[in-house]
Chains A and B, each alone.
Chain A
Amino acid sequence: MNEILLQVEKVRKVFTTGSENLEVLKDINFSTPPGKVVVITGQSGCGKSTLLHLIGGLEAVTEGIIRVGDRLVTEMGEGDLTLYRRKTLGFIFQLHLLLREFTALENVAIPALISGVPKTDAFERAALLLAQVGLSGRLRHFPQELSGGERQRVAVARALINDPLLILADEPTGNLDEGNARVVQEQLFSLVKEYRKTLILVTHDRELAREGDQRFLLHEGVLHPL
Chain B
Amino acid sequence: MRVSLFLALRYLSPFRTGSLRRIQGAILSVGLSLVPLIVVLQVSDGMIQGITARILEVGTYHLQVLSPSSGNSKEEVTLLSELRKVKTVISVTEESQGVGLAYSRGGSAGVTIRAVPPRAWEMDKGFARFMKMIEGTFDLLDPGSAVLGAELASKLKIHVGDTLKVVTPYSIEGDSILSRVSTFNVKGVVSSGYQELDKLWLFISQERSRILSPRASRKLIGIKVENPFQGLLPVVREVYRILPRSYRVYTWEELESSRYLSFRTTQYLLIFIMALILAVASVNISSTLILLQIEKKDELAVLKSMGLSSKQIIRLFYYFGAWIGILGALVGVGIGLAMAVSINEIIGGIEFLLNNGWEILRWLLRTTGIVVEGANIRILNPQFYLEKIPIVLDPFKVLGAAFFTVLLSVLASLLPARSAGRLRPLEVLVKH
Q: How far is the CB of A1 from chain B (nearest CB, A)?
A: 28
How many A-B pairs have beta carbons closer than 8 Å: the answer is 78
Bound-complex Cα distance A59 to B299 (A): 18
Chain A residues within an 8 Å CB radius of B298: 97
Q: Which residue of B lies closest to A161 (CB)?
A: B306
Contact present for B308 and A102 (CB under 8 Å): no
Whether a CB of chain B sits under 8 angstroms from the CB of A149 is no
Contact present for B19 and A101 (CB under 8 Å): yes
Contact present for B306 and A101 (CB under 8 Å): no
Q: How far is the CB of A78 from chain B (nearest CB, A)?
A: 7
Q: Which residue of A lies closest to B20 (CB)?
A: A101
Contact present for B13 and A83 (CB under 8 Å): no
Chain B residues within an 8 Å CB radius of A119: 1, 6
Whether a CB of chain B sits under 8 angstroms from the CB of A204 is no
Contact present for B430 and A49 (CB under 8 Å): yes
Whether a CB of chain A sits under 8 angstroms from the CB of B154 is no
Cβ-defined partner of A101 (8 Å) among B18, B304, B430, B432: B18
Known contacts A114-B3, A114-B306, A115-B307; A59/B426 CB under 8 A: yes
Q: Which of B1, B309, B424 has the most CB of A within 10 A?
A: B309
Stretch at the interface among A3-11, A85-93, A183-191, A206-214: A85-93
Contact present for B432 and A100 (CB under 8 Å): no
Whether a CB of chain A sits under 8 angstroms from the CB of B425 is yes
- Per the CB 8 Å criterion, the residue count for chain A at the interface is 34
Contact present for A86 and B306 (CB under 8 Å): yes
Bound-complex Cα distance A148 to B298 (A): 18
Chain B residues within an 8 Å CB radius of A79: 309
Bound-complex Cα distance A84 to B1 (A): 22
Cβ-defined partner of A100 (8 Å) among B13, B299, B309: B299
Whether a CB of chain A sits under 8 angstroms from the CB of B302 is yes
Contact present for A58 and B306 (CB under 8 Å): no
Whether a CB of chain A sits under 8 angstroms from the CB of B179 is no
Stretch at the interface among A27-35, A105-113, A193-201, A216-224: A105-113
Known contacts A53-B426, A101-B17, A114-B312; A85/B10 CB under 8 A: no
Contact present for B305 and A78 (CB under 8 Å): no
Bound-complex Cα distance A48 to B362 (A): 82
Whether a CB of chain B sits under 8 angstroms from the CB of A132 is no
Contact present for B6 and A113 (CB under 8 Å): yes
Whether a CB of chain B sits under 8 angstroms from the CB of A147 is no
Bound-complex Cα distance A41 to B6 (A): 39
Interface residues of A (CB under 8 A from B): 49, 53, 56, 58-59, 78-79, 82-87, 89, 91, 93-95, 97, 99-102, 106, 110-111, 113-116, 119, 142, 144, 158
9 pairs across A/B with beta carbons < 8 Å?
A: A56-B305, A58-B424, A58-B429, A95-B432, A97-B298, A97-B429, A101-B18, A110-B7, A113-B6
Interface residues of B (CB under 8 A from A): 1, 3, 6-7, 10-11, 13, 16-19, 298-299, 302-310, 312, 424-426, 429-430, 432
The 7 closest A-B pairs by CB, nearest first: A86-B307, A85-B307, A58-B426, A111-B306, A101-B16, A113-B3, A82-B309
